[in-house]
Amino acid sequence: MPIWRGKRPSDRIKAVLQGKVRMEDEEPGIQSVCSKHIYDGAKSLLAIPDKEKRQRALARLPALIRPHIEAEALRQFRMK
């Protein structure tokens, strides 16, 4: 019998990152892992040199995860 109940943690993380489940609806452990992926996504977004290309890349993200990546990208940008 698995140690978790319901869906596997990796499936829950994937669902959040694909925008199928709100991050706020998940447990703190799942949110923590998702935060690392959000950080990496924001870093990749900021690595795009052209502003229009960054905006298009941001627009292609799932609606439920987009605000998290956008906020993290702004935070990283302001820290520079």
pTM: 0.88
For residue 34, tell me if it sits in a domain.
Answer: yes
Q: Is residue 1 part of a domain?
A: no
Number of other residues whose CB lies within 10 A of the CB of residue 49: 7
- Number of domains comprising the chain: 1
pLDDT at 3: 63
**Region of residue 26 (left: phi > 0; alpha: psi -120 to 50; beta: else):** beta
**32-61 average pLDDT score:** 96
Domain hosting residue 16, numbered range: 9-79
Q: Is the pLDDT of residue 30 over 50?
A: yes
Q: Which residues contact 16 (CB under 8 A, 6 or more apart)?
A: 22, 23, 26, 30, 31, 34, 64, 65
